[in-house]
Every structure is written in C-alpha cells, then in structure tokens.
Amino acid sequence: MTTAAAVYDPQLPGGAAAVAASARQVTKAYGSGETRVTALDAVDVDIQRGRFTAIMGPSGSGKSTLMHCLAGLDTVTEGRIWIG
Ligand SMILES: Nc1ncnc2c1ncn2[C@@H]1O[C@H](COP(=O)(O)OP(=O)(O)OP(=O)(O)O)[C@@H](O)[C@H]1O
Ligand SMILES: [Mg+2]
C-alpha cells in the first residue's frame, strides 16, 4: 500500500488544520494465537484535509481496516489515531 509522506505533525500548532486524520505506528490484529491476523502493521499515514485520497491494494491488504480505524469506528491494537 502506498502512503503519503508524513509532512505534518498533528500534535504541533497548525498541524491539525491541514490534516483530517493521522495514523502513527498503527497495528491492528484480529484474533489471537494461531488465528491471529495482522491486518495493519505499524502504519504511518496522514490524510490531508480538502484533498481526495485513494487507498489502493489487493483484497485483504487492510484498506477497510485502515479506514475503520482512521474514522474511529474500530479500535487499534497498537499505535495512535488523530482525527481533526
Ligand atoms: N472482523 C474480522 N475478523 C477477523 N479478520 C478480519 C476481520 N476483518 C478483516 N479481517 C482480516 O484482515 C485482513 C484485512 O482485511 P480488510 O477487510 O481490511 O482488507 P481490504 O483491503 O479492505 O479487502 P477487500 O479489498 O476485499 O475489501 C484480511 O486478512 C481479513 O481477512
Ligand atoms: Mg475492504
């Protein structure tokens, strides 16, 4: 999956104005033990405000999982999400 360069730091003043959502070192795992599936593995991405962003990749690569986590609709296993 291609990710945008991390240009903005959402924790710095002004950063949040330019970035709609950010992920830092986000890992999402479903299940545990032998059935554990790592859908996202330490993802860093900034979704810029006012721009169209496409998330592309093969089936099962974690596109829906990433969007659910970025939107706050699902929890992350590790890492942090900032919205707004
Ligand atoms: N609720 C769930 N429980 C267990 N595993 C899941 C769950 N949701 C997704 N997965 C697994 O996580 C991985 C990523 O799935 P995800 O649905 O995010 O991929 P996707 O890129 O959106 O795929 P598609 O293009 O088919 O929509 C896959 O291996 C999938 O089987
Ligand atoms: Mg999907």
Domain boundaries, the chain: 15-83
Tell me the pLDDT tens digit for each residue of 10-62.
Answer: 555 555 568 999 999 999 999 999 999 999 999 999 999 988 999 999 999 99
Whose Cα sits closest to atom 5 in ligand 1?
30
Residues with CB under 6 A from ligand 1: 30-31, 37, 39, 57, 59-65
Q: What is the pLDDT of residue 1?
A: 54
Return the pLDDT at 11: 59
What is the number of other CB atoms lying within 10 angstroms of the CB of residue 49?
13
Which residues are close to ligand 2, an ion, with C-beta < 5 A? Answer: 63-64
Compute the Cα dihedral for 8, 68, 37, 57 and give only its sign: negative
Name the strands in the sheet holding 37-48, side by side, starting at the edge strand that comes first in the sequence. Answer: 37-48, 19-30, 78-83
Among protein residues, the one whose CA lies closest to atom 30 of ligand 1: 60
Fold adopted by 15-83: Rossmann fold (3.40.50)
> How far, in Å, are 26, 53, 59, 72, 82 from residue 47 at the CA level?
14, 7, 21, 14, 10
